[in-house]
Structure 1
């Protein structure tokens, strides 16, 4: 079995697909099981599992569809007149059979095209000579150079006869192509037929003599006209190839009770053995010296096949020379019916028109118009016909939205990404987020910046600074949720810089393009891996490093397990490479290196995200069509603002009397709905801008007024939502989640302000980037402000004012809040209990250094739980002063 096409031996495409699906599922299950046994998190196992399944699919599917792509490319080349390309069909299934049939068809088309070219060349050659002679003769007659005597007229007649013979050969050839000549069988006296043919040949101008050797009693059933045509062509061919004064012998006889033979022999140069099989092909004589067209022998072969016989060139007897053409025919051939179609010289004659009274007219169907030829227009871009090698599947999948042209193999980028993956596998696992994680992020970001096509733009520079600042939060703060948010926002910022996205949908498309780059970059990856073989020093270095590593692991493991002192040295120098550790490190290295490699492809060949957008806006025809629904929304906002004012000025008593709810329950109940209303308002504004007409100054004034009022009322809703959350936190305490919700609502309010500014200018192309920039800056400022410490301080302030504190919640905060709790206003025993119950990660080394964990570790009270039973009282309820 071919390792490049492992499924070629299977004879069914359905069986191949079933095996492919089963193998992919098994590979995915094995990788998932290995990751689960090694304790790898699910979010890390998932991409490796998907890649493993796709890799097995790619390996097994190799060759299944390549013949189809090759057929597409070959068909495109055929459209340009090139029939030389063939399909590599090695599989035994239906696609392989189709490839074989395609190759046969391509060969037949190539032969037909060659014969057509030969026909044009031969006919041009044959027509040129008699036409030139006739033209010269007629010019001489007109100029009076010669007189129209018998010799001159015989010369003209000879040239006309030559033209007539050529036209007759071409008509016979048309019958051969269309199969339009049925047999008219009748008894034939072969000797008489041969003598008549010899008599018609007459005395050749070359002095050729004819000898007949046919028994007088040889009678057969045949089409006499067709056999005469065969004899005429064979005699003409023999005459042209015989030497002056040579003899052409025509002989015939019975071969068997139901077969007879006919032989025409000359004394010419003969037929070379290597050309004997091609003389009956069209234009297959290969010799123009005799003045033939190369059609006569092809017609003779066709007539013999029509009689259910055969014809061939046989070598002459020993000691003789010349060509011998031998035909073997049945004594009584089967009759052949005429087909329905007619040849070019047998067109049906027009029938007389009957009067209307004799026959009702039969309605004739209208002929279908011929398809119009393809004409280049200016209404859209021309679609080029693919010519050459078949395009990879991913190229056809992404099409014009994400083309790849002229991208050379990137060996250096591949090696750098491989190095980053190895570095990540060594320094990241079994360490807390800290300095090593920050270093890997910065190194990966630098690689992306170096490979980016837009790295010199101001936006790319600003995004680079923001990404580094957001990544630095992993060193400054110990909160993992903050690091995850920072990396997520930095990813969006990075993809926006790599793709130079501007619109909202373009930003989303740029973000989706990063994971899709793992698929889009496969052709480039294949070319790059192939190009590494041309780097003479690379593979020797890789082989040497691999062998050295194996030797180091094997002998080092033996010595470490055989000697305790050596083992202690090894443990101090070499990280743990147990089986589980090796699996985890492999998964981490694969994900980090693969993500960077996909990002590098995105930087090298960004998609055309600017083409991703909504269809062209179609404003409504009348102003009231959008003003009425948006006006109703504005009226609802006004009513909501009035209700808020009534609750604000009416106080707790009015709220309880009107709704039956306490004020705390009232403010908590509507916060989520207010946030949803803010989001829907932004969507309403975007829809109104698309549908509102803006042609006149009046239209633009109405648009600014209505949407401006809506945005202003939305800001009141945002303020109400923030006020509700503040009251709720004053009553029930501050949490990180509530602070995050406040931050999101505050960001939505900022978006409303930006929309107001865009509405005043009636230009919002800058809005998506501004929204993304504001989100990144807000997250960065919030991260630097240490949100967990801020929440802890607010709870301590609440303890000072109310005398109650939620100690159980404070114990869930991370190391960032530990200094605030230790140095706050809580009693020392309570603070010690809270700090002892906090989660404490493993000890940090230099690579996992983190400022928040370092400051917490320096506190004397930040220790493991003491197990003191007195601390348990603090977790049951709020601590009261």
Structure 2
């Protein structure tokens, strides 16, 4: 897609200067508008950069596309295909080079076509009379036929036909602009057909011929030589594709407007989709009914027919018949047309066009439309463009999601409006994903929906944000249909890169808008609809206070700062959804190439490190048992730590050790040989023992965290690491199952889905309420609690904190206020807390001591 403005500039240097100036201006204006509208930096910077890059891409593509097209066309030309052309619309040096390239390619193509088509036509035209002449002479030499006048006349006819054909071919070589003169005489049709059949019979093909002419004395005005050429080609084609013993039927019949010639055979016939292509030179079927020949016989037949002002085409065979049936319609008085000669093309010395080149053949058009762009070279085989067709609907849907985000998100807390936005975005992405029918993708879609629902159910932003990040990771894995951990990582990286990789697809989508027949009507409908809603909405809002209140709940505030923020959010969210949509339409090749893993030569090379790790685990567990049976006094005497300090000290290290154990198991399983039963037994035994010890370590880590929380209180971070450690234990169980079956290809997907599922379950149990309940229970048992921490919990914990004594409840609820949410901010956690906060005084004195 080129820029009409820059196409008029006659200098590449000036174009580059304008390009830089426009991009800098766009970026500066957007940055200034964002700063004036108080748009956060984290939002304004990426949107500004993205839009500036988009403007640069749109303006620069027309400058570089001719060079890429020339590169692609030159590569094809080096292989002998001269059909490639370059789109040349600009007036600068690159445009002049492109037009010169097109002229050169046109000249080379003309010379090459003349050479190839002359050889092919000469071979085709000389083949039939030569075969007939050879057959007659062989019969004479072998004594099969006597040299009577009839036989000699047939041989002489073939020799004369050879002479006439050679003369015709020389005439054709001198034809200018493909025009040939007709020599019209009255031709007896029956005599013409019988003579053509006699020549066809000497070719030796074992078929019969049935000639019918109505009326028998039918004569028509035509060029005898050309008409004979037409009939001979049709008979040659029909006899070649007829089975042995079949009959070729030739029918000629006069009518009010002219006369009709039909040739029908009993061969396999021609599919309806190919009936037009068989008349093309060097057609894909060669000759009719599936191959053979040079592909010129029917092309010459069509040329002769059109010279006489007639038509030729294949029709359905007679009822209860098979084969091909070609029909020629010729007028009573031939109308000499200027027909493109099947042998010749435009002379090489014709003046080349200076305007943009006319449409090229399909192969050439493919070369011209699909050059290797800079993005293709950048992403290479990892992410080919695949010429994904432009989808206007996808762009419009993503824009609608962006507009919805601009209406819902600003100045609102997470709630049902955010959930609706997430569902709309996910629906658009899934709608255009090529993997949407995959069971894994469908399972991920359901899990993403569950994770998104937390924003409408829980007021705790920390769990809602974690669920949203987990949903994004699951969504990306689903779009690429990944199966391995590297695939999941690459999918996450590909999401932001899709904004760059998808620029050519976005350009094709925007170009497709101009091809929509109903685009003008649709645009007019939208404009009139919006205008009608605005006019009548403003009138009714000014006339009725209730209507104005309802409208205010739906229509966002459009002050300048608000408008700028909403505009930036529209572009950002719409762009993110559009990038994910392209990722689903054209996912990259994220799965690593299947390489051959070479196991170690000797068993001890992998077994010794694993057994040493097992020994370390055994010693560690022995220390754990000693500390447990020795009691607090023993622990204090040996380490100088209290038991709570002791268990807190090692939790993080145990979590890391669990994760590293999974890495050790993976490496050992890859390098261990499995050629004998003993190899498999050692693999299962050693890694199974290591996994069992790892489960004991997981249990120890969870117990340590439980003791620490009982001593120092429960928090969100401590609960989250508990869940993470439990997830690692679940992965260890999965590894043990994979070790028993020696099949682990299901494990990465199971790990992803189980991790995201655990986050959803964590949100489902209402974590802030759970934490508040345990801290309340601890306060009841010990009298110790961290009041500032309780005051910082979300509204999800309000029903639990309200169970405290009046003064304590008033203290714990000091950080909670009655909110004035609209329906788009509705949230189950906040909704349940509102009735309590309206009745509980929040000026109580915090009792007890903080701990």
Band the TM-score falls in, shorter-chain normalisation: 0.5 to 0.7
* C-alpha distance in 2 between matches for 1:11 and 1:781: 63
Residue matched to 2:519 = 538
- Match for residue 6 of structure 2? 6
Q: CA deviation at 1:545?
A: 4.0
Deviation at 1:770, TM superposition (A): 0.9
Report what 1:252 is aligned to: none
Counterparts of 2:748 and 2:383 in 1: how far apart (Å)?
22
Q: How far apart, in 2, do the equivalents of 1:643 and 1:805 lie?
A: 32
**Distance in 2 of aligned mates of 1:29 and 1:669:** 52
Contact 1:832 1:862 in 2 (8 A): no
Distance in 1, matches of 2:76 and 2:36, equals 54
Q: CA, structure 1 residues 638+87, in 2 after alignment: closer, same or farther (shift >3 Å)?
A: same
Q: Is 2:849 aligned against 1:878? A: yes
Structure 1 match to 2:30: 31
Superposition deviation, residue 109 in structure 1? 5.7
Kindly indicate whether the alpha-carbon contact (under 8 Å) linking 2:85 and 2:368 is maintained by their aligned counterparts in 1. Answer: no
Residues in 2 aligned to 1:591 and 1:744: alpha-carbon distance in whole angstroms:
32
CA distance in 1, matches of 2:23, 2:668: 48
Question: Is 1:527 matched up with 2:497?
Answer: no
1:639 matched to which residue of 2? Answer: 619
2:443 is equivalent to residue 448 of structure 1: no
* Equivalence for 1:416: 397
- 2:560 is equivalent to residue 582 of structure 1: no
Query: Where does residue 833 of structure 1 map in the other structure?
Result: 811
2:476–2:495: 8 Å Cα contact kept in structure 1?
Answer: yes
**Partner in structure 2 of residue 823 of structure 1:** 803
Report the CA distance shift for 1:803/1:572 in structure 2 as closer, same or farther (over 3 A).
Answer: closer
Contact 1:7 1:60 in 2 (8 A): no
Matched residues in 1 for 2:470 and 2:791: separation? 28
Q: What are the Cα deviations for residues 302-321 of structure 1, in whole angstroms up to 9, with x where unaligned?
A: xxxxxxxxxxxxxxxxxxxx
Change (3 A) 1:686 1:569: closer
2:832 corresponds to which of 839, 852, 855:
855
Deviation at 1:733, TM superposition (A): 0.9
1:63 is paired with a residue of what secondary structure? helix
C-alpha separation in 1, matches of 2:477 and 2:465: 19
- Secondary structure of the structure 2 residue equivalent to 1:797: helix
Shift of 1:52: 1.1
Q: Which runs of 5+ in 1 are unaligned?
A: 125-282, 287-383
Instruction: Give the secondary-structure state (helix, strand or coil) at the position aligned to 1:391.
Output: coil
The Cα shift of 1:411 comes to 2.7
Distance in 2, matches of 1:716 and 1:693, equals: 28
Residues in 2 aligned to 1:18 and 1:727: alpha-carbon distance in whole angstroms = 68
Q: 1:613 to 1:451 in 2, by over 3 A?
A: same
Q: Deviations over 1:443-464 (max 9, x none)?
A: 3333333333333343333323
Deviations 1:208-237 (A, max 9, x none): xxxxxxxxxxxxxxxxxxxxxxxxxxxxxx
Between the aligned partners of 1:716 and 1:512, the Cα distance in structure 2 is 36
Q: 1:789 to 1:542 in 2, by over 3 A?
A: same
Contact 2:654 2:698 in 1 (8 A): yes
**Residues 85-115 of structure 1, C-alpha deviation per residue, up to 9 Å, x if partnerless?**
4545677888668657756765786688689
1:83 offset after TM fit, Å? 3.7
Q: 1:20 to 1:688 in 2, by over 3 A?
A: farther
Query: Does 2:666 correspond to 1:699?
Result: no
- Residue 67 of structure 1 contacts residue 88 of structure 1 at CA under 8 Å; is this kept in 2? yes
Equivalent residue runs for 1:319-330 within 5 Å: none
Matched-pair contact (CA < 8 Å) for 2:71–2:371: no
* Native 8 Å contact 2:735 2:747 kept in 1: yes
What's the offset of the Cα at 1:556? Answer: 9.2
SS at match of 1:789: helix
Secondary structure of the 2:61 match is coil
What's 1:630 paired with? 610
Q: Are 2:693 and 1:744 aligned?
A: no
The equivalent of 2:452 in structure 1 is 471
Listed one character per residue, the Cα deviations across residues 370-420 of structure 1 (whole Å, up to 9, x for unaligned) are: xxxxxxxxxxxxxx9984433363344444444455744323333333323
Q: Relative to structure 2, which stretch is displaced further, 843-852 or 88-97?
A: 88-97
Instruction: Deviation per CA, 1:530-559: give whole Å up to 9, x if none.
Output: 222233333344356458758987999999
CA-CA distance at 1:32 after TM superposition: 4.2
Asked whether the 8 Å contact 1:623–1:692 carries over to 2, the reply is yes
- Output the CA distance in 2 between the equivalents of 1:712 and 1:66: 61
From 412, 437, 451, the equivalent of 1:431 is 412
Match of 2:48 in 1: 49
TM-score (norm 1): 0.62
Structure-1 separation of matches of 2:422 and 2:547? 35
TM-score by length of 2: 0.64
- Is 1:731 aligned with 2:702? no
Work out the CA distance in 2 between the residues paired with 1:692 and 1:752.
Answer: 19
Q: How many residues align?
A: 628
Whether the 8 Å contact between 2:394 and 2:581 is mirrored in structure 1 is yes
Match of 1:69 in 2: 68
Over 3 Å counting, the alpha-carbon distance change for 1:768 and 1:670 in structure 2 is: same
- Equivalence for 1:461: 442
What corresponds to 1:198 in structure 2?
A: none
Shift in alpha-carbon separation, 1:10–1:808, aligned structure 2, 3 A: farther
Unmatched 5+ residue regions in structure 2? 124-346, 351-363
- Equivalences for 1:225-374 in 2 at 5 Å? none
3-state secondary structure, aligned to 1:607? coil
Closer/same/farther in 2, CA of residues 506 and 284 from structure 1, 3 Å limit: closer
1:712 shift after superposition: 1.6
Residue by residue over 1:614-652, the C-alpha shift from the partner in whole angstroms, topping out at 9 and shown as x without a partner, is 743222222112222222222222222222222222233
Deviates more, 1:479-488 or 1:749-758: 479-488
Q: Would you say the 8 A contact 2:791–2:813 is kept in 1?
A: yes
Give the 5 Å matches for 1:562-641. Answer: 574-609=555-590, 611-612=591-592, 615-641=595-621
> Larger radius of gyration, structure 1 or 2?
1
1:764, distance to aligned residue in structure 2 (A): 0.2
With 538-547 and 724-733 compared, the bigger mean Cα shift is at 538-547
Distance 1:719 1:37, change over 3 A: farther
